[in-house]
Chains A and B, each alone.
Chain A
Amino acid sequence: MIAAPGQTVALVVFGASALGFGVAVFRTKSMVRSALALLGSMSAVGGLFLALETEFLGVLQLMMMATEMTIMAIFMVMFMMDPGGLGQMDMTHQKRAAVTAGVVGGLIAVALSALPSWAAVVVAAPAPSVQLHDLGIELMSRSMLIFETAGLAILVAMIVATTIALAEKQP
């Protein structure tokens, strides 16, 4: 069975732009452009989620990634001596190993995607309002422990991050 052709087209468009922006992250010399290219990639992934009819996850991805990537941009500007990328300095190391690892890892992932014979592709997904309701019920009943653990992990991370980042008290 094949899904609606509009969905496949949207999938290809969003997927290609996610990959294109992902490549742009590491090709540009400007740090802020890297962070914003990553935002473009993650937004394309969010659009991909919307195309795959998981409306809640797509909207959540778009919302979270805007804030996260801009915070990455400000950290770049804080830490780097040349955030504009005008100095033409090469900020990479072990290039050959990295390219080999990336290509080999990518090829293994591609092989694992394309070679197995997946089950028949289901066509009907629930309506967005039904999905939202059922996801909420799932989170609150069966996956409650996971949900609470994630919430606790976020709280601990907030406390940890604030404590680490506080400047040491001057004597």
Chain B
Amino acid sequence: MSWYLATPLALPFLTAVIAFLARHFAAGRWISVFGNVLLLLAATVLMARVRGEGVIAAQMGGWRAPFGITLVADYLGAVMVVITAITALAVSIYALADISERKEYLGYHALFNLLIGGVTGAFLTGDLFNLYVWFEVMLISSFGLLILGGGKAQIDGGVKYVTLNLVSTILFLSGIGLLYGLTGTLNMADLSRVVPEVENQGLVTVVAVMFMIAFGVKAAVFPLFFWLPASYHTPAFAVSAVFAGLLTKVGVYALIRMFTLVFIGDVAFTHTILLWVAAFTMVTGVLGAAAQNDIRKILSFHIVSQIGYMIMGLALLTPLALAGAVFYLVHHIIVKANLFLIAGVVERAAGSTELGRVGGLYQSAPWLAVLFLIPAFSLAGFPPLSGFWAKYVLVAAALEIEGWIIAGVALLVGLLTIYSMTKIWTEAFWKTHPDGINPTLNRIGPGDRRPLLYPIAGLAVMTLVIGFFPEPFVGFAETAATQLLDPAQYIDAVLGGTG
């Protein structure tokens, strides 16, 4: 049993070690691709298992559940691992052409796979302190990736990214300490059982808010998101794509996990805060994006605004809303990573990502324009693309419990998202190039074109598939939501032998 859970965790680390040893050779980059193919296979096997058997858990080192470290996979965890593997594979193919040899020599592929390992670990662990460790694995490799190459802007963005994330880490750690002091356990399933029995529920709420802030920084919610638009446009495109796709979503995942499993004692307080946070996150993100003039900066602010939708699903805490949040997570990771990858191609073809210095792409690279339109309109929520269904489910959930205001905000932000996407469209694709360049894809070296465009096309196809056949995905998200709202299955799977 533990084999299924441990493989997706071990593979990225193995790949990282081998890729590090092979960093002097061209083979290093193929090792990364190959490792991520295996990761996708392992993740799919895990997913099939979870679909067949429900929540599965494994005790590491043979220590029984609340004492040892537990790995758990429920629907949410499994689907996140699969989507991580998909993103990792797409980005590692893209990196074949995007990462310079110097960065490879500095250990890009090793850091990248360590990052994936950290993300996977965070999705699979069932122990709070272990979650902290995975966050650190993820964080330290993301530091390395962010400043790899040492450009001025990278160092500048890195300072902000590193400092704010370290503050969040300390808060997380202190929260863990206090929670342990209150309950005497750090196993999440055990916490879910013990926390309601704690005498001083006020203190539990205090700790809950500490976790909310700590994960809120990671998830980049209002008003804690400032590190994100300061840094995400500075590193290599492959790096910013994987950051945009996965990192903030680990924060969202941790919020969903903790605020459905452990901190559900004072929903009226904590989830009301979350609802306000969600509304403000959506609005500030989208307004921030409207003020930017660089493709990657616009997209960075849109990450913030989209995070608001997921938090909204969590805050409403109905089965439909949570299903919407899960669906949104999956859709968003694919779409967002893809948009950043496209930004990289735009720079290669037209020379910049600054909107004032590019143009003419529709004329000279119509297929790239189509590939941009799919995720861009999906992000904005055009039917029948995946973003439409994600927003539809969330808004329907809000209307169901008469949350008129939050539903209105969600719809309005969707409209404003269209504004930013049309801005990129008109500036980068529609108008003629200001320098009179004809930015065809031929400006990209022939060897680089395929690795750059295949992952983009693959992710775009995935967006279309989710869009045209949303039913199985929504059904899946609904099952995930049911599991989240009724943690008995999760607790049984983890503590079964000792309960």
Decide whether A and B assemble into one complex: no
